A and B are shown apart, each in its own frame.
Chain A
Amino acid sequence: MKILIPIKRVIDFNVRIRVKKDGSGVETANVKMSMNPFCEIAVEEAVRIKEAGKAEEIIAVAIGGRQCQDILRTALAMGADRAILIETDVEVQPLAIAKLLKATIEKESPGLAILGKQAIDGDNNQTGQMLSALLGWSQAAFASNIEFTDTGLEVTREVDGGLETIAIKLPAVVTTDLRLNEPRYVKLPNIMKARKKPLDVMTPQELGVDVAPSIDVLDIAEPPARAAGVKVADVNELVDKLRNEAKVI
């Protein structure tokens, strides 16, 4: 079985995000970029599945500018076997990403696609679900555990009320939650080997996908500053406020 791992290049999670003054976006000049942390978890999971002998090949895919080669090389160093860059300068939105991935999957025929549940830039949390709908594949979002069974996968999902375990058939789209695994450090010999692994470049046109944005972003603004907290005299007052003001208990 092949595993496809779509990954995204985002502003590094350590960087404090600054909104551009004109509200057109966030500042990306001179800002460190890295692989989306949820995508790192997806790569790690794919590598573990391969190491367990349940997959033969891992293909990492990124969509974006030429700079995305850096995260693909990182994925290769972590253990992916080859990489595909779908090169475009357009800011591709989730539906277009899902269409590009569908076209890639139709070419590559993997049995499983593992994606981060969301990217930490747009926080859309849409691509995996859209991809499974477009393909008509099983779907397990927010995975915190993945087990292989005779009939497919048993996936534990982190849902609002706790954990939910579902059985799905392959082929499937799985999206990763934070607690699925802890991504490994890249090993030095693998960094050097990554250089020799194939990285193919293609375009959305070659895949026959129109990536023109379907959503116009009107404004991007900072979230409102948090108000200062309130000191309470004792536990009774705290409980009273939680019950009657915050209405959380």
Chain B
Amino acid sequence: MEFGLSHEQQMVVDTVRSFVENELYPLEDEVERSGQVPRALGREIQDKVGELGFYAPNIPEEFGGGGLDSLTFTLLERELGRASMALSVFWGRPSNILCAGDAGQRERYLLPCVRGEKIDALAMSEPDAGSDIRAMKTFARRDGSDYVINGTKHFISHADVADFIITFVATGEEETPSGPKKRLTCFLIDRDTPGFDIRPGYNSVSHRGYHNNILIFDDCRVPASQLLGEEGSGFDLANTWLAATRLTVAATCTGRARRCFDLCVDWAANRRQFGQPIGRFQGISFKLADMITGIDAADWLTLAAAWRLDQELDANRQIAEAKLYASEMLARVTDEAIQIFGGMGLMDDLPIERFWRDARVERIWDGASEIQRHIIARDLLRPLGA
């Protein structure tokens, strides 16, 4: 076993961290205050990352991306996770699923994303289809050589800045061992498609400035050339290409927890009460010990899952474990951070309350904790027929 990073991996970590600290941290207060990132500022971040050759680091080199392996990309995500998501979203990491497109789709969507000319978003959730994704109601009806889409999606992250949306809709129903389920199909929907509207979403307590949107499809007509993969292949496509995105949640949680933790250690060493640093009290020092133990455990779970992806080993359960553990660890760490900082931890003069707020969504999106536990348990029991 090898637990160390290569020189190259260490340089990636160092570069991303210093970029995040120098270029993104100084912008965070304004994002929190305004709840917005001006598009020109987003463009500036994209350009800086592009100059570094770090844009689209997850996409294979044959398509012009950085070609990082899963482990190195996960390290990059971990460091990016330190910063506000409203800002880090402009460090383009196009969805890998775009690699599944045909030559024309790669030309029109993947390559412009890699070049930073287009931004993608991904639409799955609906008001009546959250964890039960195959209950979705948005439906595409075949009409000649076109499809006509009707329905509503919500919670669609950064659709406001996206040029097109990778959209999963139902195109029929099929019998499964657990009853009838929707057959899913994936479409690439340009934002200016007639009958398609991207509306502002809800005000979320987490990730201010990183907006969620509501998508309305009202007789939205798209040609069959917008279909990603085969009709009805959406569920398999999602399983093949999107499982790894859960790992990015684990990685970003770990990075953010570490940033929060470092502030706690500093505070515990310098804040004095009863004539001594509060870190001298076991009430505080034991918290720090538990926090770093959780952070390290989440880190190793996450990196080990990424390593399995690189070895082409089955990693489904390990990714679920990492996502589950890291997101729940972040909740504990940020909650304890507020306890360590006391009243000041709740004030928006410090970023602690923000880490705490931002942490909450991590246990919900990209597969809620309950879904991750379901995946893990199913992996254990299904081979035994239970």
Contact = CB atoms under 8 A, between A and B. Distances in A.
Given A70-B10, A73-B7, A195-B8, A188 B57 contact: yes
Contacts of A70: 7, 10
A187 B19 CA distance: 11
B254 to A, nearest CB: 17
Interface in A117-174: none
B7 A69 contact: yes
Interface in A85-133: none
Interface of A: 34, 69-70, 73-74, 77, 185-192, 194-195
Interface residues of B, number: 16
A69 B66 CA distance: 24
In the A-B complex, the 3 residue pairs with the smallest Cβ-Cβ separation, listed nearest first, are A73-B7, A188-B53, A187-B53
Main DSSP-derived SS at the B contact region:
helix
30 contacts: A34-B14, A69-B7, A70-B10, A73-B7, A73-B11, A74-B14, A185-B15, A185-B18, A185-B19, A185-B52, A186-B11, A186-B14, A186-B52, A187-B51, A187-B52, A187-B53, A187-B54, A188-B15, A188-B52, A188-B53, A188-B57, A188-B66, A190-B53, A191-B11, A191-B12, A191-B15, A192-B8, A194-B7, A194-B8, A194-B11
B15 A186 contact: yes
Main DSSP-derived SS at the A contact region:
helix
B76 to A, nearest CB: 9
Interface string B149-187: 000000000000000000000000000000000000000
Nearest to B269: A16
Contact of A188 (B7, B10, B18, B54): B54
A222 B51 CA distance: 43
A241 B364 CA distance: 61
A72 to B, nearest CB: 9
Interface in B1-44: 7-8, 10-12, 14-15, 18-19
Contacts of B66: 188
Contacts of A191: 8, 11-12, 15
Nearest to B8: A191
Contacts of B57: 188
Nearest to B57: A188
Contacts of B18: 185
Contacts of B52: 185-188
B139 to A, nearest CB: 42
A26 B335 CA distance: 34
A192 B14 CA distance: 14
B19 A188 contact: no
Nearest to A186: B15
B292 to A, nearest CB: 12
Contacts of B8: 73, 191-192, 194-195
Contacts of B7: 69-70, 73-74, 194-195
Given A69-B7, A186-B11, 15 more contacts: A70-B10, A73-B7, A73-B11, A74-B11, A185-B52, A186-B15, A187-B51, A188-B53, A189-B53, A190-B53, A191-B11, A192-B8, A194-B8, A194-B11, A195-B8
Nearest to B19: A185
A70 B4 CA distance: 13
Given A187-B54, A188-B52, A190-B53, A77 B11 contact: yes
Contacts of B68: 188
A74 B13 CA distance: 12
Contacts of A190: 53
A194 B53 CA distance: 14
* Max chain A Cβ within 10 angstroms of own Cβ: one of B12, B19, B52: B52
A127 B11 CA distance: 27
A10 B18 CA distance: 17
B288 to A, nearest CB: 15
Contacts of A69: 7
Nearest to B68: A188
Nearest to B65: A188
Contacts of B19: 185
